[in-house]
Every structure is written in structure tokens, then in C-alpha cells.
Amino acid sequence: MTTIIDGKQVAASVIDAVKAATVQLEKEAGVKPGLAVVIVGDDPASHAYVSSKSRMAKECGFNSIQHTLPEATTQEELARLVETLNEDESIHGILVQLPLPGHLKSEPIIQSIRPEKDVDGLHVVNAGKVATGDLDGGLVSCTPAGAMVFVRRTHGDDLSGLNAVVIGRSNLFGKPMSALLLAANATVTTAHSRTKDLPAVCRNADILVAAVGRPEMVKADWVKPGATVIDVGINRISAEGRSRLVGDVAFEECAKVAGVITPVPGGVGPMTIAMLMANTVIAAYRKAGRTPPKF
């Protein structure tokens, strides 16, 4: 019988742990975690994301601050705001919602956030710490961190003897996901569009993670019987005049072969905001000189 992971349920358990850690930090150190979210312009999807992040931060008991800047904001104005938030002792996490309007360069802004406040895990220092296995020193990018929660809850903390295949080599997900699996002692293959005989490579995987942005690319005959399949893709497709969300995995057919599988929607998606909250608590604990909780 295949286990379908309920991402909302797992995310809720992470949020419960964040709330408990927040209460404990405030009681023991008098510190309330602070999260500042910055959004520029009027993109409706970005505003929806930011609202849900700010709402969740308040629910977790954080000091939640949102800066909504006009479309015409200059690079210098945005950089000044980030610098102010860097200096603010009450703010432990800074998140600049991407994409920024076309006239702004996102990379210099992201890299100007202090690594210890970079709760999105996008700063090169945090990416480097993940790549070198220093998971207790950096902040891990939220989506791979969330996917790893699923892996750990299925297989435990030590993945010795297991083969993992990650399809996708993006800096945002593929590379950090491979590094996290490697740090947990899995034998990892990073596959991509240039990989020779990709289905054969995937069939060797005890843990198969798909993150390429191609709708339902992974078929049932790519999946080793009993494997854990984590689908990170979110693709909108139209069929019979209706649009729906699908992942990179052909869910219905792969679910018949896999031992454990994540659906789309409702799998990895809900974990991203949960891990953002977890990173904010971790950053607050570190700033207070305390050992942060594990999620």
C-alpha cells in the first residue's frame, strides 16, 4: 500500500514546533523572533504569498513586519531599507519577495542581506555552508529543507546505503537538495536534461526527487518499486477547457509503484512557508546564543 504524504499535516506539525520554540525563547531569553518581509510593486501572486507569510509569522508569535514599497522604488531605496533591517536588533529574518519589478536587480539585494538573517537561504554564504555540509552554521533554503523533512520522517536521519537521485540542478533547489541528501549519507546522483538514459538512472533510486518544471515527466517505469518519490514541480496545464496543477511526476501511475509519494498540490508546497518560520526561529535562537531546535 502506497503512503501519500500529506504536506499540510507535516507542515502543521513543523509550525507547532516553531510555536513551542518561540514561547520557550521568549520565556527563557526574553526574545521574540522578528521577521521582516519586503515586497515591491503590485504583482497579485507575490502579494498573496506575502500575506500568507505575514499571517503565519503572526500565528507563530513572531514580531511580523511588512514593508510594501511602490513599483517605482529605486535600487538605492531598496538597498537602504535592507541595510536598515540588517542593523535592526529586533529583526532576525529578512525576506525580499521575488520576483522584483524588471528595473530592479535582485541578486545584489539578496546578497546584501546578512547571512545570519537570510531566512530564505539564498545568500552565497548559506549556499556554501550547505554545499560543504555545515548545516548547523547556515540557513538552508526553504523548499529543499522541507523536502528533507519528508525524507527524514520516512527513512530516519541516516540514509546510509540508500541511493538518491535528484532530477534538476538549479541553485535554488537541485544543488542544495543533493547536498542535503549527501550530508545524510545517501549516495547521490544529480541528474538533469543532459543525463544519458534518465529513466534508467531514476530506476536505481530509493529516493527520487523531481524538480525540473516539466509536467508529469516522470513515468511509472522510471520508479523503482517501493521507492520514495518527492515531487517538487508545480506546473499549470490545461485539459478539456480546465486548468489544473500537476507536478513533474505522473502521480496516478507512479503512486501504484512507489512506496511513498508526495502529491501536487498539497505535498512540498505547504512546507516552504513552514520552513521559513523554522529558519526565523533558528536565526533568533542563534542570535540569543542558544542552541536552536531541529525541525
Give the active site residue among 117, 118, 120, 129: 120
CATH of 142-270, one of 3.40.50.1370, 3.40.350.10, 3.40.50.970, 3.40.50.720: 3.40.50.720
Residue 139 and residue 120: Cα distance in Å, rounded?
Answer: 8
Q: Check for a shared fold between 29-117 and 142-270.
A: yes
Q: Give the pLDDT score at 276.
A: 98
DSSP per residue over 233-270, as a string?
--EEEEETTEEEEE-SB-HHHHTTT-SEE--SSSSSHH
Catalytic: 219? no
Residue 10 and residue 237: Cα distance in Å, rounded?
Answer: 27
Among 21-25, 228-232, 240-244, 269-273, the least confident range: 240-244
Catalytic: 75? no
Among 43-57, 144-158, 216-230, the least confident range: 43-57
Catalytic: 97? yes
Domain definitions of the chain by residue range: 29-117, 142-270
State yes or no: pLDDT of 241 exceeds 90: no
Contact 220, 257 (CB under 8 A): yes
* 234 known ligand binder: yes
Domain 29-117 coded CATH 3.40.640.10: no
Q: Give the pLDDT score at 252.
A: 97
* 169 known ligand binder: yes
